[in-house]
Amino acid sequence: MTSIQQAVLLLRLAAPLQAWGGPSRYNRRETRSQPTKSGVLGLLAAAEGRTREAPISDLIGLRLGVRIDQPGTLLRDYHTYSDYRGLPMLSAKTNAKGQQTRTSPAKYTGVTQRFYLQDAVFVAALRGPRTLLEGLDEAVRHPVHPISLGRRSCPPTGRISLGVRADAELEDALGEVPWQAGSHRRSQIRDSSVSLEATVEDPAGEHRADDVPDTYDLKTGTQFTHRTVRHLWLTIPTGSTETTTPPTDPDTPGQSGHDPFALLGW
């Protein structure tokens, strides 16, 4: 029996705004601190031109790893909305005919909040059958539908695909990709290497991520199942020739590549 050849597809996910939704709904839409499996697979499905009703079992079987090259900062986008006709807003209640009723007492303005990651950069690695990944790589380079990073209002900047590589463990594949941070973040690190947080899908992992979709069909809605993941740190060369001498005072912050405040975007 011939075994299926495996490979790794690498993606660079960078944009002024990204939004990787969690369980939040309705008028408060939050974002997670890094790309979710649901979001990344949705990006690939859109690039291929799959309909929302199309099966995604082949995509679900791919194992995902994410490296945080530039964590970005959290942005809250505050909105108010109302009925353009000046009518009271609809409530969550319905009448005997199943129609939504107007709010009582009348409410004319609602509030909605959207959260985004701004100026973040990630590297995503997907491991699976080479034939499938080569097709996804081609789709990302020539997408059928516009690609977005979590929400339609978040188009990516720069190239997305970093190519299909030979089969490797997700940790090793992520460790071989050059640092993808922007110039501002690079100017903050003067060491020859930087420590980057990564999350890899691992059946033996000790953590759980509830972000595996069963479908993107709007009629049935999406149900999420979980996967096990492992968190780790990867040391990546910065390309900088400058070096700094560690401070003698342990309470004095230095320029070490392992910056404890990096995840806060400081």
Whether 55 maps to a domain, the answer reads yes
Give me the domain span that covers residue 253: 6-76+116-264
Whether 92 maps to a domain, the answer reads no
What is the C-alpha separation between 237 and 78, in angstroms, rounded?
39
Express as a percent the part of the chain with pLDDT over 70.
88
**CB within 8 A of 119, min separation 6: which ones?**
16, 70, 72, 73, 182, 184, 265
Q: Read off the pLDDT of each residue in 205-219 and give the average, rounded to a whole number.
A: 92
Whether 204 maps to a domain, the answer reads yes
> In 3D, which of 224, 194, 226 has the Cα closest to residue 25?
224
100 has pLDDT over 50 = yes
Count of domains observed in the chain: 1
Whether 61 maps to a domain, the answer reads yes
Note the pTM of the prediction, 2 decimals.
0.82
Whether 123 maps to a domain, the answer reads yes
Poorest-pLDDT segment among 139-143, 211-215, 244-248? 244-248
4 has pLDDT over 90 = no
Q: Read off the pLDDT of each residue in 154-172 and give the average, rounded to a whole number.
A: 96
247 has pLDDT over 80 = no
Res 253: pLDDT: 44
Whether 135 maps to a domain, the answer reads yes
Task: Give the model confidence (pLDDT) of 42-63 as tens digits.
Answer: 999 999 999 999 999 999 999 9
Beta strand 193-201 pairing with 207-213: unpaired
Res 243: pLDDT: 53
Res 221: pLDDT: 85
Whether 72 maps to a domain, the answer reads yes
Q: Read off the pLDDT of each residue in 184-195 and give the average, rounded to a whole number.
A: 92
What is the C-alpha separation between 30 and 199, in angstroms, rounded?
20
Res 128: pLDDT: 97
CATH number, residue 157: 3.30.70.2660
Whether 213 maps to a domain, the answer reads yes
Would you list the DSSP string of 154-221? Answer: ----S--EEEEEE---HHHHHHTSPP---HHHHHH--SSEEEEEEEEE-TT-SEEEEEEES---TTT-
What is the C-alpha separation between 194 and 23, in angstroms, rounded?
32
